[in-house]
Homo-oligomer: A and B are copies of this chain.
Amino acid sequence: MVLAVSGGPDSTALLHGAAALSKDRSWRLTVAHLDHALRASSAHEAAAVAAAAAAMGLPAEVRRADVAALAAAEHRSLEDAGRQARYRFLEEVATGLGPGALIATAHTADDAAETILLRLARGSGLRGLRGIPARRGRIVRPLLHARRSALRAALDAAGIAYVTDPSNADPAHARNRVRGELLPELERLNPAVVEALARFGRLAADDDDLLDALAAAELARRRDGEDGSIDWHRPPARALGRRVMRLAIGDPAPSAERIEALLDGAEGPRGGIAIELGGGRGASVRERRIRLG
């Protein structure tokens, strides 16, 4: 199992929790740390993670990535570029350990709640409100039901040191505003709001999976011709129709407005329409059949 350890409190709790549990189990743990090179202190933090692993008798893989340069080259935010570089690194370390290796990250219930609020604020539908999955491929998140405050309290009680990332307090980052302002305000309405949001995320994921399965079956039934066109006589409920078309069109997803316009056209009184879907893709409707190309 690869442990993703930044050196902050959550991943330090993951490291010590996994090490304690592994004593009675046949786990083989490897610590992985990606130095994002965004702060002067980051090399020092990387060395501290390596030293902590060595003190616990665990192997460590530490790599340095110039996340600022990656972000600039790919026109991504620092957060996006950092996340992508981090997961790519973790997957490489896991692949090096052989098949069956898992990657454990230290995401908490607080992270899941923050993700749901961020996506809701930015205008998501149900799909975006799934929160953070407890498992995806070989990535596992054993702390997803734990509160960040409980992990910190446990570390402090045990006298275990951890790094406090100063960028976590910078209100220029949207997630920090959610963490520092929005969640505390919501907790005044409901002290258990983090648990409520995490539960909502799990229910949303179940509902979303069910609707996706329905959409896949509906698409297979309606794509009945030899030319790959989709029969839109007797259209399904709009909630299902949206998902059928989203699935048929594939990635990158067109805007919600384009999909609504396509369905309005396919279900409207006029015989034919043509709509751009972005990325050189288009759709046309004739005689209540939808053709994508």
Chain A residues in the interface with B (C-beta under 8 A): 118, 120-126, 174, 177-178, 181-182, 185-186, 188-190, 192-193, 195-197, 199-200, 203-204, 206-207, 209-211, 213-214, 237-240, 242, 256
Contact = CB atoms under 8 A, between A and B. Distances in A.
A125 B203 contact: yes
B182 A178 contact: no
A129 to B, nearest CB: 8
Nearest to A124: B200
B123 A203 contact: no
A190 B123 contact: yes
Contact of A211 (B122, B123, B185, B211): B211
A10 B237 CA distance: 33
B177 A188 contact: yes
B190 A239 contact: no
Given A125-B203, A200-B120, A210 B239 contact: yes
Contacts of A177: 185, 188-189
Contacts of A189: 118, 121-122, 174, 177-178
24 contacts: A120-B197, A121-B190, A121-B193, A122-B190, A122-B196, A123-B193, A123-B196, A123-B200, A124-B196, A124-B200, A125-B200, A125-B203, A125-B204, A126-B204, A126-B207, A177-B185, A178-B189, A182-B185, A199-B256, A206-B242, A209-B239, A210-B211, A210-B237, A211-B211
Contacts of A181: 185
Each complex incorporates copies of this chain amounting to: 2
B182 A240 contact: no
A245 to B, nearest CB: 14
A144 to B, nearest CB: 17
B209 A237 contact: yes
A118 B186 CA distance: 9
A182 B189 CA distance: 10
Contacts of A200: 120, 123-125
A120 B199 CA distance: 10
Given A120-B200, A182-B186, A207-B239, 16 more contacts: A118-B189, A121-B186, A122-B189, A123-B190, A123-B199, A126-B207, A174-B189, A177-B185, A178-B189, A181-B185, A185-B185, A206-B238, A206-B239, A207-B207, A209-B239, A213-B237
A145 to B, nearest CB: 15
Which of A178, A238, A239, A242 gathers most chain B CB within 10 Å? A239
Nearest to A125: B203
A120 B237 CA distance: 26
Contacts of A123: 190, 192-193, 195-196, 199-200
